[in-house]
Amino acid sequence: KAGVTQTPRYLIKTRGQQVTLSCSPISGHRSVSWYQQTPGQGLQFLFEYFSETQRNKGNFPGRFSGRQFSNSRSEMNVSTLELGDSALYLCASNPSTGLGYGYTFGSGTRLTVV
């Protein structure tokens, strides 16, 4: 059973550009969440999608957006990149709305903004 796949693994972008990250959940998982991990702020929740609808959103500016497709794959987009957006972006999938299943994380996309 394939795990959560995130592409690309590494990205280098210039300040002011935009970037799109992709996440393919485990087959059959319908919930996809995104997290940002930085040394200073740790792991912070960005947003969660279920059946193509954003159900929950963290405290991030509007430059951070996402979407989910009918096959549950998800993308997140960051526009007008800032140096502080440099981080490891992690995607997690969950089989259902159940709280106890836990989340399976991908290996992340390491974004560096220069």
Footprint of other proteins on this chain (CB under 8 A)? 4, 6, 31, 33, 35, 42-43, 45, 48, 50, 55-56, 58, 90, 92, 94, 97, 99-100, 102-108
Residue 34 vs 81, nearer CB to other proteins = 34
Q: How far is the CB of 55 from other proteins (least distance, A)?
A: 6
State how far the Cα of 95 lies from the Cα of 65, in Å rounded to an integer: 22
Omega of the bond prior to 61 within 30 degrees of 0, cis? no
DSSP label of 35: E
Q: Which is nearer to other proteins, 18 or 111 (CB)?
A: 111
In the complex, minimum distance from the CB of residue 16 to other proteins, in angstroms, rounded to a whole number: 28
Looking at the Cβ atoms of 25 and 108, the one nearer to other proteins is 108
Identity at 105, one-letter amino acid code = F
Q: Closest Cα partner for 21 from 106, 102, 95, 104? A: 106
User: Is residue 91 a contact partner of residue 4, using CB atoms and an 8 Å limit?
Assistant: yes
